[in-house]
Chain A
Amino acid sequence: MQVVVRDLAKRFQGSVAVDQVSFSVEKGRLLTLLGPSGSGKTTTLMMIAGFVEPDAGGIEIAGRDVTRLPPNRRELGVVFQSYALFPHKTVFDNIAFPLEIRKRPRSEIAPRVARLLDMMKLAALRDRGIGQISGGQKQRVALARALVFEPPVLLMDEPLGALDKKLREELQTEIKALQRSLGVTAIYVTHDQEEAMAMSDAIAIMNDGRIVQMGTPDQLYEAPANRFVAQFLGGINLFRTLDLEHGEDGVCATIEGGIRVPCGRPAVPENGPSWVGIRPERVSLVESGGRERALFDATVIRSTYLGGAMLYILRNTAGVEFSARVPVGGARRTLAAGVTVGVSWMPDDARLLG
């Protein structure tokens, strides 16, 4: 394990910022701390970086206990949300900074910086001032500067937060490829769930200072531990559960309105499930009273055209609102508001949530 974090805790003026946070990251892997703002993800990262002193717990990097070590002796590459490039230095001098501080000879600095400039497609900008380059270029410089001294671990705090969507997606791919090819272990902080899904080997979802669930992106999406994870990651429709029967074909839940829905063989939460959850893109809409058997009927309230798909907001007979994301094209006709449709889903796609 390249990074091991044990029972990290931090309070700010009496309120809990981080509590009992533990995780580990294998060499060469990218772990994302994902959560809403105020969930403690940045505080956790800053404790690993050494800028925030933990009240309790320990941090190990490459087998070395760094909990009480000052940040400059932890040998971590850190990329800050605001880029934190030195405005009084050129692109080249920014990237050379960590090597100069380490008193490397000039003859070594120049080729190492040049290599990163090439790798990050920045060679043409080497003598530019920081004020003369774009946001995406700044992010590349920040990344190059954090990697030039070959730290075993790279920490990134919402590095793409200030960029527009297209550039963000481009850089996600680039950062991921770079991290892979250099084999550097990375911890990435973001509140953007799509970004977390696209980049991570593993994701730790945080809320109120704690890790709620940790796993690979598909584990978290397919088997969310609770309502928070399911809603935060991708969004989910929730139906309050009134009763649960365990039958031969699996579990069958009775939801509001006395509607019975088969749920396959899902994991049943410890405290008893109170919700049936179904992802909007796994809801199918069929002709009401048609040949395909529907679980229940619902009325379309409004629809939004998303390009590749339609997002319908519907209300069932019990008055519960939910959404369905249906691909557009082929023989499918779009549904107008007020139309009544049948609603169904594959039993295995339903989740029982506490």
Chain B
Amino acid sequence: MEPEKFQELFHRLESEVSKVIVGHDDVIRKVLIAFFAGGHVLLEGVPGLGKTLLVKSLSQVLGMSFKRIQFTPDLMPSDIVGTQVLAESDGRREFQFKKGPIFAHVVLADEINRATPKTQSAVLEAMEEKQVTVFGESYALESPFMVLATQNPIELEGTYPLPEAQLDRFFFKLLVAPPSPAELKEILQRTTGAESADVSRVLSADGVELLGGMNQLLRQVLIAPPIEDYVVRLIHATQPGSSNGDPAASPVKQYLRFGSSPRGAQSVILGAKGNALAEGRVHVSYEDVAKVVYPALRHRIILNFQAEAENVNADQILGALVKQVPRT
């Protein structure tokens, strides 16, 4: 695939989703980057910001199968991955595997933190290995496969915060901010009027193949070794134990319990490549890295009690790191 075609498709997808989602351009772009990079996205925001609508719109424009799972405390793993049911065929009774909602191209895990850890972990295998195992038998998921999970930062009572291992599976964690007054006005005009905006499908029937090509092109994007070194330094700087002599050590040692895993570096590089392609370039720049550092690492660095007590969030620490870690 040509980079120009990638860019053209990317922009068409963006514009189509933007027809129903007012604002959140950055969120839309990042979701698309994660999708083309083969990652999953955790969307965090208060209710009513259009998280679910975003995911639904994305699946529509992509022309992919879409399933929504509303996570509740009583949700069972089998409700997600499927289960064996006793079925009668040709006079014989036998167990048949009934696929759960996880078997779709785009899966919306709505309010994922409301399910029990057991249920949450059921999604774990699907997200990482793109397969599920039921009664000892593995079932591969269709490609492309993307989980878009949402969680509410408020109303934490009765919720089960995602374990670090599961958080690490998400390519990006995107914060959905409340709309600005202008955006809110636009939302009102679009949703309270007689006409309703519909999104159209961008990808044709051969969209799956096309998406495969886009994914391959994204991974071929050129990245200079010094930029890779910079990413390595950034990731290394998030480790509280191994940042001796590093100028970025002070906030990290003070506020972090754990640093980013190597998956964080992968996310940064792939995200930067996706961003470069989206901007029509075939090489990664430092700016691309800076743009994806926050969504790629904010859920991978674990804050300590002092940070929470002092109301320091991950983005503040990452901001300090980006400033302090030298680029060359």
A and B interact: no
Interface, chain A (partner B; CB < 8 A): none
Interface, chain B (partner A; CB < 8 A): none
